[in-house]
């Protein structure tokens, strides 16, 4: 990990502001491999006739949506367990988490904003009193307002129910900006949206690694979306992160078993049984 990255300061930023930006989280070879993988997935999807336009999300097909990144290329597993990403995830939502989803949005010139939303509110009913989820957003291009940087609403991490959500969401939003290779870490309660790409010819590729507490059902069923050979090639840690295991939710139960046996009955840190 880059010695200049001050994880404590970054975690405090997330606790205070709901987000932080980490420039140069990846560079060189890893960034290049991720960029190439994004291009290859788009080519493959087109060759196989898989639609890259998500009508339910985006106003037009200039937003290219890629789903289940971890199923497409091992570079995305590498990003999911990148030490900076993991440290920020664990500082924000604790050590027990799953990868809920991992998607990319490649906003081409003309791409428009989707609806403003908070990812935690998509899955968890109110009240949203604590961050139970976090997005680690990987910037594969330089990201700025003009090319459609993700926009967020300052202070929205404090909204605890739909009653707190105002009508003028887009007007309140402000863009992130970050160079290629950065992470934007944004906790799950922050209301946000994609920006409009108003450039002539600039592409904006960003990937959203969405992690949530392990008692929340992930958005994606990784066991179903992964081709068998890809799933079989995963190591134990990757399987654990993606929740691919014969057991679904047994963490507390595992602790109780140990309690009955009278050994180390610490329910907070009981490990997942595989």
Residues at the site binding ligand AKG, with contacts judged by CB under 6 A = 103, 105, 150, 192, 194, 206, 208
* Minimum separation from the CB atom of position 206 to ligand AKG (A): 6
* Minimum separation from the CB atom of position 208 to ligand AKG (A): 6
Using DSSP's 3-state secondary structure scheme, residue 184 falls into: strand
Comparing CB distances to ligand AKG, the nearer of 169 and 270 is 169
* Minimum separation from the CB atom of position 175 to ligand AKG (A): 9
d(CA 195, CA 20): 18
* Minimum separation from the CB atom of position 63 to ligand AKG (A): 7
Q: Is the peptide bond before 181 cis (omega within 30 degrees of 0)?
A: no
If you write DSSP's letter for every residue of 92-127 in order, what string do you get? HH-S-EEEEEEEEEEE-TT------B-HHHHHSPSP
- The torsion defined by the Cα of 123, 127, 133 and 134, in degrees rounded to 10, comes to 110
Comparing CB distances to ligand AKG, the nearer of 92 and 100 is 100
* Minimum separation from the CB atom of position 27 to ligand AKG (A): 22
Comparing CB distances to ligand AKG, the nearer of 206 and 234 is 206
d(CA 207, CA 174): 19
Kindly give the residue spans of alpha helices, DSSP state H, lying in 48-73: 69-72
If you write DSSP's letter for every residue of 21-52 in order, what string do you get? EETTSS-HHHHHHHHHHHHHHHHHHHHTT---
Q: How many CB atoms lie within 10 A of CB 214?
A: 20
Comparing CB distances to ligand AKG, the nearer of 103 and 156 is 103
* Minimum separation from the CB atom of position 42 to ligand AKG (A): 15
Comparing CB distances to ligand AKG, the nearer of 20 and 150 is 150
Q: 151, 112 in Cβ contact below 8 A?
A: no
Across the chain, where does the E strand assignment appear? 19-22, 63-66, 97-107, 133-139, 151-152, 174-175, 183-187, 192-193, 204-213
Comparing CB distances to ligand AKG, the nearer of 14 and 108 is 108
* Minimum separation from the CB atom of position 259 to ligand AKG (A): 40
Comparing CB distances to ligand AKG, the nearer of 151 and 213 is 151
Tokens 């890893």 correspond to 30
């Amino acid at each position: 990990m880059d010695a200049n990255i001050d994880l404590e300061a970054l975690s405090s930023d997330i606790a205070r502001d709901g987000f932080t930006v980490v420039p140069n989280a990846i560079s060189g070879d890893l960034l290049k491999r991720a960029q190439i993988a994004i291009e290859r997935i788009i080519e493959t999807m087109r060759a196989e006739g898989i639609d890259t336009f998500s009508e339910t999300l985006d106003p037009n097909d200039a937003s290219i949506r890629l789903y289940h990144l971890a199923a497409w290329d091992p570079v995305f597993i590498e990003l999911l367990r990148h030490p900076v990403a993991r440290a920020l995830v664990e500082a924000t939502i604790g050590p027990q988490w799953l990868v809920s989803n991992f998607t990319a949005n490649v906003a081409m010139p003309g791409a428009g904003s989707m609806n403003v939303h908070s990812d935690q509110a998509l899955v968890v009913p109110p009240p949203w009193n604590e961050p139970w989820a976090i997005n680690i957003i990987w910037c594969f291009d330089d990201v700025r307002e003009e090319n459609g940087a993700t926009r967020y609403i300052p202070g929205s991490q404090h909204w605890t129910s739909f009653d707190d959500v105002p009508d003028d969401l887009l007007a309140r939003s402000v863009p992130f900006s970050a160079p290629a290779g950065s992470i934007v870490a944004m906790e799950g309660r922050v209301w946000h949206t994609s920006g409009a790409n108003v450039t002539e010819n600039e592409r904006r590729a960003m990937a959203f690694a969405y992690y949530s507490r392990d008692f929340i059902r992930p958005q994606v069923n990784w066991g179903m979306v992964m081709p068998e050979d890809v799933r079989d090639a995963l190591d134990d840690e990757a399987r654990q992160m993606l929740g691919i295991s014969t057991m679904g939710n047994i963490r507390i139960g595992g602790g109780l078993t140990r309690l009955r046996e009278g050994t180390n009955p610490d329910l907070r840190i009981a490990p997942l049984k595989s």
